[in-house]
Amino acid sequence: MPTSTIEMPATGMPAKEIVPPSVAGAAVVVREAQFSDYDAIAALMQRYGMESYARADWEGLWRGNPVYQRRGGDWSLGWVLESGDGRVVGFSGNIPVACCFGGKELTAAVTSAWVVDADYRSHSMLLASKYFAQKNVDLLLNTTAIHVAGQIFRAFHAKPIPVQGLETALFWVLDYRGFAASFLARKGVPLAVMASYPMSIALAGAAAIKGGGFSGRDLPGVKAVEDFDERFDEIWHLLKARTDVLLSVRDRETLRWHFGRSLKSNGLWIYTLETEGRLTSYAIFQRQDKADVGLTRMRLVDFQSVDANPLILDAMMAAAMRRAKTEGVQMLEVLGFSGAVRSRLEKLAPFRRQLPSQLYYYKALSKELKAQLTNSQAWQPCSYDGDSSL
Amino acid sequence: MTSTPQIPSYEDALPVVYKGLDELNQQRPRNQRLPATPECVLFGDSGNLNSLELSNFIVLIEQLVHEKFGVEVDLTEGDPFSPESGHMRTAGTLAAHISNLVREQA
C-alpha cells in the first residue's frame, strides 16, 4: 500500500490521498465528499458567487435521486480538496443520471458545482482525475462547462457534444426597459436604470424588425399544469421507444426529483397538450433569475413531443410569454436543442447571445458507445440534461 | 502497408516533453518559465502550472507523441497526479511514462 493512502475504516470515512503542498504552502488532501461537508461546500460556493442550495435540497440531489436510491447509495457524491488545516478548498459534485439509448438504460455521472479556491486552482486536476477515474458508469457528462472546465475536460479526452449551435443562446425580450437596465448593470454602467431607456427603445425596434413574436400562435388544448402526473410516464414510454437518440430519463419519478426545488418555489411552468386523451407534448420553463444584476428570466428547459407539428412548440412558447409578461419576467431564453426544434427556435428568436464557451462535454466509457455518440443525430441536448436545471 | 511505430527509450521521450515545455514557456512571463530538465516539476510541491496550463500541456504532449512516435496515447489514464507514482509529477516521470506507453502499444 502506498504511504500516501490512509485507510480510515473505523469511522467509515473514505480513504484520503495526501498530495503535495499547494503553492499556498499547505498540504492538500483529496477525498470523497460526505453529506456532512455541506456547510463548508456551501460557504465555498458562496465565496465565489455560486448559488448554493439549502441543505435539504443539496442532499436531495442524491438522497431523492432515483438512480442513487436504486444503487443503495453506492455512489460518490463528489470530491473535496482539503487544505492542511482542514478547510474545504475545492469541490466537484457527482450526480447520477439515468439515460436511455439503443434500448438500454445507461448511467451518466454528471459533474456539478465545480469550485476551487483561487490559491489551490492547480489542484483542480485532482478533482478531475477522480471524476474521470469512475468505472461504474457508462457516460461522463458536463452540461455547464465554463472555459477552464472545458479545457480540463478536453485534456481528459471528453468531447464537445457534436451539435451545431450549442454555444449560442436564443432569447426573446419581454420587458425591454427592465432587461436593458439589468444588461447595463451587468456591464457596470453607472446609472443603469436611467441609461436603459434609449437602449430599450433600440431593442424594441430591433425586435420589431426581426419579428419573432408568438402572438396568434395559440393552439386549442395547450394547458398549464402544476405537477408531473402519471401521464408523464405514458409519454416517456413513447419517447424512449426512439432508440437512436440519447435521452435523459423523463419518467414521472425522475421529473419530480429533477424539478423538485423549482416546483417547491413555484419556479416551474409546465405546458401540456393531449391528443385523444393522451399526453403527446409538453414544454417545461424554469425561472432562472440573475438577482445580482436584477435580471428576471425564464428558460425553456425541455420540450418533448411525439407529434412533429411545429405549431405545438409555438403555442407553448406563446403561452409562456404571455404569463412571463404578466409576472414581470424580462426575458425568455433557450439553450441547446437540436434538429427541427432548434431550427424552429432559431427562425423565430429575435436575439441571440454567444456563450463564453461550449457548455456540453461528454466522455463515453465503452468503445461502442463512444463510436455511436460521435453521430450528431444521437443527441438532443437541452437544459434538462445534466445539472443545468437541477 | 502500415509503418511500425518507433519504440522510444526514456532518452527519446524526454525531448518531446522538453518541446512541450518550450511551447508552454512561450505563453509564460520570462521569470516564470520552466526549466527543460528531468527534475522540472509539473504538478505538486513546487509546480506552478495552473489547471488550464496543465490541461493544455497534456493535450500538446499527446499531439507531439503522436507526431513523433505515431501512436495515440492518453496521459490522463491511471493516476497521473498521484504524489507517489503519478507520471505528471516531473518532466522525467512524464518522459518515462511516455516511453512505457508507446512500448505497450507498439
8 Å CB contact of A2 and B84: yes
CB A42 within 8 Å of CB A58: yes
- In this prediction, residue A358 carries a pLDDT of 81
Give A151 to chain B, closest Cα distance, Å: 6
> Which residue has better confidence, A148 or B106?
A148
Using CA atoms, how far residue A323 sits from A121, A172, B22, in Å, is 43, 14, 58
* Least-confidence region, from A26-40, A169-183, A200-214, A245-259: A200-214
Across A166-178, average pLDDT: 89
pLDDT level of residue A191 (50, 70, 90 thresholds): low
pLDDT level of residue A3 (50, 70, 90 thresholds): very low
> How does DSSP assign B70-101, residue by residue?
S----TTSS-TT-TTT-TTSBHHHHHHHHHHH
CB A234 within 8 Å of CB A279: yes
Q: What percent of chain B has pLDDT over 70?
A: 92
- In this prediction, residue B6 carries a pLDDT of 63
Q: Is A122 on the interface with B (CB under 8 A)?
A: yes
pLDDT level of residue A240 (50, 70, 90 thresholds): very high
Taking CB atoms and an 8 Å cutoff, what residues of chain B touch A122?
43, 47-51, 54
Q: Predicted ipTM? A: 0.90
Residue A368 has pLDDT above 90, yes or no: yes
CA angle A203, A358, B50 (to 5 degrees): 120
**Residues A371-384 pLDDT 10s:** 999 999 999 999 99
Across A311-316, average pLDDT: 94
The residue of chain A with its CA nearest to that of B41 is A20
8 Å CB contact of A155 and B50: no
Q: What percent of chain A has pLDDT over 70?
A: 89
- In this prediction, residue A209 carries a pLDDT of 67
- In this prediction, residue B46 carries a pLDDT of 67
Contacts across the A-B interface (CB distance below 8 Å): 67
CB A29 within 8 Å of CB A16: yes
> How does DSSP assign A149-161, residue by residue?
HHHHHHHTT-EE-
Residue A192 has pLDDT above 90, yes or no: no
Locate the domains of chain B by residue range. Answer: 10-105
Spatial separation of the C-alpha atoms in residues A81 and A234, rounded to whole Å: 43
- In this prediction, residue B45 carries a pLDDT of 58
- Long-range pairs, B81-85, Cβ under 8 A, ≥24: B81/A19, B81/A125, B81/A126, B81/A129, B81/B43, B81/B44, B82/A2, B82/A4, B82/A17, B82/A19, B83/A4, B83/A17, B83/A18, B83/A19, B83/A20, B83/B44, B84/A2, B84/A3, B84/A4, B85/A2
- In this prediction, residue A387 carries a pLDDT of 93
Residue B4: count other Cβ atoms within 10 Å of its Cβ: 7
Give A155 to chain B, closest Cα distance, Å: 5
> How does DSSP assign A29-70, residue by residue?
EEEE--GGGHHHHHHHHHHTT-----HHHHHHHHHT-HHHHH
User: What residue has cell string 489514464?
Assistant: B77
The residue of chain A with its CA nearest to that of B59 is A155
Give B52 to chain A, closest Cα distance, Å: 6
**Residues A331-356 pLDDT 10s:** 999 999 999 999 999 998 999 999 98
CB proximity list for A244: less than 8 A, separation 6 or greater: A102, A377, A378
- In this prediction, residue A72 carries a pLDDT of 96
Residue A269 has pLDDT above 60, yes or no: yes
Across A142-159, average pLDDT: 89
- In this prediction, residue A22 carries a pLDDT of 42
Across A278-283, average pLDDT: 96
pLDDT level of residue A217 (50, 70, 90 thresholds): confident
Residue B21 has pLDDT above 60, yes or no: yes
- In this prediction, residue A303 carries a pLDDT of 98
3-state class (DSSP) for residue B22: helix
> Which residue has better confidence, A169 or A198?
A169
CB A161 within 8 Å of CB A342: no
Class of domain B10-105 as given by CATH: mainly alpha
Across B88-106, average pLDDT: 92
Across A68-92, average pLDDT: 95
Across A221-238, average pLDDT: 96
A5-6 and A16-19 beta bridge pairing: antiparallel
Residue A19 has pLDDT above 60, yes or no: no
- In this prediction, residue A24 carries a pLDDT of 41
pLDDT level of residue B3 (50, 70, 90 thresholds): low
- What is the value of pTM for the model shown? 0.87
According to the per-residue pLDDT averaged within each range, which of A107-116, A286-295, A347-356, B82-91 is highest?
A107-116
8 Å CB contact of B76 and A121: no
Taking CB atoms and an 8 Å cutoff, what residues of chain A touch B49?
122
